[in-house]
Each structure stands twice: as C-alpha cells, then as structure tokens.
Amino acid sequence: MTPPSKTKLLIVVVETNAANYLAPLLSKWTRCPGDAPPIDWHVFAASYAAKRFSAIDSSIPFTNVDNSQDGWAAAFEALKNSAWNAQALLTSAAGHPLEFAAMEGMDDAPKIQFIDTWTNYRRRFEGPDGLVIGDAIFVIDEHAVNEAIAAGLPGERMVITGQPSWESIPPFGTPPPHSVLFLSAPVLQGYGRFFGYDENDCWDVVRRAKQAAPSLFEQLFFAPHPVEPPPSLTKLDGATLISYDLSILEKVGTVLGMFSSPMIDGFLGGRNVLSIQPGAIGEDACPLSRHGYITRVGSPEHLVQAMQTATPNNNKKLMGTLESSTSRLEAAITKGINA
C-alpha cells in the first residue's frame, strides 16, 4: 500500500510562550515520527522562540530566522530554493511582522494562527493595513473564545485546543513555609500607566506587606522579566535576585505578580498565587483573577490578609479544561491543513 502523501507545513514561531505552546507536540513528532500524522513540517523560529526551543528540547529541528521581515523573506526564499514548498501555514499570533509576512507569503494555502494565552486578543492580529486573519484561530478554552469575540475576532474561525505546555506542568512538592516569589514585568515600558499601576507600584506593595508581616516573608525571591535590567540592591530591599524557571516553584509556596505567564505555572503546580494590581482601572489584566481562579489584591493590607487566609489551591477546574491538549492540538492541525 502506498503511504499517504505528506502535507508540507511551515510553522512560524516568534515569542517564548508560543514556543512553549508547540514544544510538547513538536517533541512528540521529533521523537516518535512513526506516530505522527502525515505532515512534513519545518519550523522558522525567531527572537525568543529559538532560544526557548533549544532550552526545552534540543532535538526539535528549526531554522533560526533573523527577527525582521527581510530575514523572513531571505529564509523563505532559501527554503523554496531547496525544493521544499510549503502547502500550509501554522503561525503564532503575537502581532509580529514576521507572522504577517508569513501570512502574506502563503497566498491561498490553508493558514492557521494560534493564541497561546488569554490576553491581547485583537492586538495580535492588527497588521499595518488592518486585521490579518487566517482560516482558523486556535484558542485555549471557552474563556478565550468569549474574550476574543468581544475583542472583534470572528468566532466561527475559532477552535479550542487547550494549551499543551500548561497541561504538562507537574505538581510541585511541599515548599518551605513562608517562602515567596515575586514576578516582575516591564509594564511601565510596555503599557505606561494604562492599567493604573506598574511594576514599581506592585513591588512597593510587596515590600510594605513584608514590613508589616515579616513572618510571612521568611524568604523573598525577586525574578525580573528577561527583558528587564537587574534591579538595584536598594530596590531589592533584602530580597534574593533570581532568574525564573520552573524549578524555583519547588522552593516557594506563594507566587506574587501582576499578570505574568509564570503565575499560571505556579497555579497549575499547586502554589498559592495572588495578583497584585494597586489602583487598577479597566478590565482585570490578570486572566487567572479575571476568570475567578485566584484573588486580586490592591494594597499591602489586602496582601497580608490574603496570605494569612490562603485556602488550598483549587486548580482542578482549569486542569480539566487542559486535558489532552497535545492530542487536541495535533487533531486540529491535521484537520485545518487538510480543510
């Protein structure tokens, strides 16, 4: 029997979280090619995505593309000259020029975009000449569907796939008591005062809470975002500076932040997670608190109270929506590129 012909799928990934989203499936395809669907795939990874793929699974093959439209054009031309002509496209949706160039360059081929988290729905599709939308948009769950539709994206193109990287987060062991992690983020740089607060306001809430109830903060770790410069010793105020990775969640019982993605790691791993948003205006920017999974606090007093009265983490509902994410993503890709 003649084996089925393989659809040539070009995959474009720009940011870290998008690489996290795809990595479990790409690892499966790389390590167990006999169990993969009939897809001949090639990954173009730019910016932080290339670094992330290398860190997660060095066996995943990809082309490291210069983070520009010219870099994309050169890489795509080189790929075509190698006699490998893509028949379908799967791309992250981060609002990046590389993604838009890929969408334009694929002409009438099936085009799939994916949203790897619960934020900035419309902004991810706003190209220089308006919205750039393919044949299907993969989203995490019903929350994402409803919020994306409210943002003006077409609900009829959405497919719920779960989130493979979240599904694979393990439960963490019993942490030392009163060990706390603060996740910073470049909110001021990226959003100004749009939310009514920035990372400095939130860190000030933590510092003042520690002064008021030092026994709750026997260990305090400060993890800057990868694009942030290291904070000064004065700003740290006795906290331990660390670089974030999943292993740090073994050492802490409480995770504090604004709306950083690693807060989801902590929540799914069984940690007490709180969103700090002093003076918040508009919609809750943290999806975990917006969807009712965790508590949002706005002052040192509220933070101390929330830490003193913390209830056991109840992540089972979210974990249920993520079940079989990798398999669902694989099925959705197979269906989408053959539509």
Q: Is 219 helix (H, G, I), strand (E, B) or coil?
A: strand
Q: How far apart are CA 114 and CA 294, in angstroms?
A: 25
Q: Which of 64-78, 184-198, 302-316 has the weakest average pLDDT?
A: 64-78
3-state class of 89 per DSSP?
Answer: strand
Grade residue 314 by pLDDT with cuts at 50, 70 and 90: confident
Q: Among residues 140, 161, 164, 93, which one has the least CA distance to residue 332?
A: 161
4 pLDDT tier (thresholds 50, 70, 90): low
Burial of 250 (0-12, 13-18, 19+ CB in 10 A): middle
The pLDDT, as a whole number, for residue 319 is 95
Average pLDDT for the chain: 93
The string of pLDDT tens digits covering residues 269-296 is 999 999 999 999 999 999 999 999 999 9
pLDDT computed for residue 334 by the predictor: 97
pLDDT reported for residue 247: 92
Ramachandran quadrant class, 206 (left: phi over 0; alpha: psi -120 to 50; beta: rest):
alpha
Report pTM: 0.91
- pLDDT, residue 139, reads 98
Q: What is the pLDDT of residue 186?
A: 94
pLDDT in tens, 113-132: 999 999 999 999 999 999 99
Domains of the chain: 7-160 (3.40.50.2000), 179-318 (3.40.50.2000)
pLDDT at 156 (0 to 100): 97
